[in-house]
Amino acid sequence: MVMSGYLKQEDLAAWIDAISADHEVLAPQAQGNSVVFAPYVKGASLVFDRDATTSPKRSVFPQSEPLMNYTYKKDPEDLGKVDLELVEAPAPKPTVVVGSRPCGARGFLAFDRVYYGKTVTDVPYLRHRQNTAFITMACSEPETTCFCHWVGSGPDDAEGSDVLLTPVAGGYFAKAVTEKGEALLAKATVSSDAGKEDEAKAVVQKCKDALGESPDLSTAPARLLERFDDMTFWEAMASKCISCGACTYLCPTCYCFTITDEICGSGGSRIRSWDNCMSFQFTLEASGHNPRPTKAHRLKNRVGHKFSYYPTIHDGNISCCGCGRCIKSCPVSVDIREIVLSAMEPSQEAAND
């Protein structure tokens, strides 16, 4: 088994082609002015030099998919008698995500704690999860929106990845992280080159240095809860928010969904699709009552969930991977870093006294 080695740039396409022979491959591709994870077809040109606009979330958590299909069947002998047939959705195809950044691959760890939790095993999710592997591209330079180091990660974080590629001169230093990754890397033409491993380390170190120091977020869970009733604060933070779902749908760790029925004739599907806490309808009750009636309430929930409620119930893990998509693609540049830091402010003042 190949554990690590040097993969030449010119051998990359052949490797991805080999993988795509028996896997669905999702890889970042330019569409319009965006880079999105899309199904790979042989010869497609892939974009690895910057992170994709969308996250690789759809690989494991599709934008929309049937949980089950149903059919109403009339009894030909007794037309008043209608039977119902339920069929579970078919198992997903084995999938490999190529070219996600460490933050994107790591996002699913936030899902895992919930979808495979103390009380429930989300079988449809785990079917995808077990069927998906990540060949991840380590980062050589941070963008202005990057803050993975704030949330306990970094440019070469291999958690959640199966193979980690680090860009080096002429190609990549490739390293298998899991058994699944070893099997994938075995399909590649790699050579041993000790010098490349050192070069990869230097590339990552340079990126780490560029990221700089991170603030201490350990007081964030408590501070955000203390801020819960401070609606003046949340209204100020949410003034410019337009309550759309761009932040959540691009986020690698946002896992909320809705379940709706679609019907056509005598059958249809019960569908799970992305939903988001920024939407008014998300918590709207049939009575008309809404516990999160304004965008300020909803933004509070989004930030609070990631940096307070989730860490409190999941061993301190922050439900944010620091990819910065919510900042970069927000139509009005709402900056979640700024909100968390602002919420923490009183404690910093107190510390300075």
Residues 79-118 that bind other proteins (CB under 8 A): 80-84, 86, 88, 112-117
Query: According to the binding rule CB under 8 A, does residue 270 interact with other proteins?
Result: yes
Which two tokens mark 180? 């699944």
Of the pair 14, 120, the CB lying nearest other proteins is at 120
Q: Which residues inside 10-39 make contact with other proteins, applying CB under 8 A?
A: 31-34, 36, 38
State in angstroms the smallest separation of the CB of 35 from other proteins. Answer: 9
Query: According to the binding rule CB under 8 A, does residue 182 interact with other proteins?
Result: no
Query: According to the binding rule CB under 8 A, does residue 49 interact with other proteins?
Result: yes
E strands along the chain, which residues? 4-8, 24-31, 34-39, 64-74, 82-88, 95-100, 132-137, 163-168, 171-176, 190-191, 257-264, 267-274
CA–centroid distance for 329 within its chain:
15
- Report whether 199 contacts 170 (CB < 8 A): no
Of the pair 130, 191, the CB lying nearest other proteins is at 130
Q: Using the rule CB under 8 A, give the single segment among 20-28, 184-192, 194-202, 329-337 that binds other proteins.
A: 329-337
Query: According to the binding rule CB under 8 A, does residue 41 interact with other proteins?
Result: no
Of the pair 32, 212, the CB lying nearest other proteins is at 32
Which two tokens mark 345? 């402010």
Distance CA 301, CA 98 (A): 32
Query: According to the binding rule CB under 8 A, does residue 42 interact with other proteins?
Result: no
Distance CA 177, CA 182 (A): 7
Distance CA 80, CA 131 (A): 43
Lookup result for tokens 């309808």: 281
Q: Which residues inside 209-228 make contact with other proteins, applying CB under 8 A?
A: 225, 228
Of the pair 6, 305, the CB lying nearest other proteins is at 305
Distance CA 158, CA 320 (A): 16
Among 189, 214, 312, 347, the residue binding other proteins under the rule CB under 8 A is 312
Total interface residues for other proteins by CB under 8 A:
112
Among 175, 196, 223, 297, the residue binding other proteins under the rule CB under 8 A is 297
309: helix, strand or coil:
helix
Q: Which residues inside 275-294 make contact with other proteins, applying CB under 8 A?
A: 275-277, 279-287, 289, 291-292
Distance CA 97, CA 37 (A): 8
Distance CA 55, CA 104 (A): 6
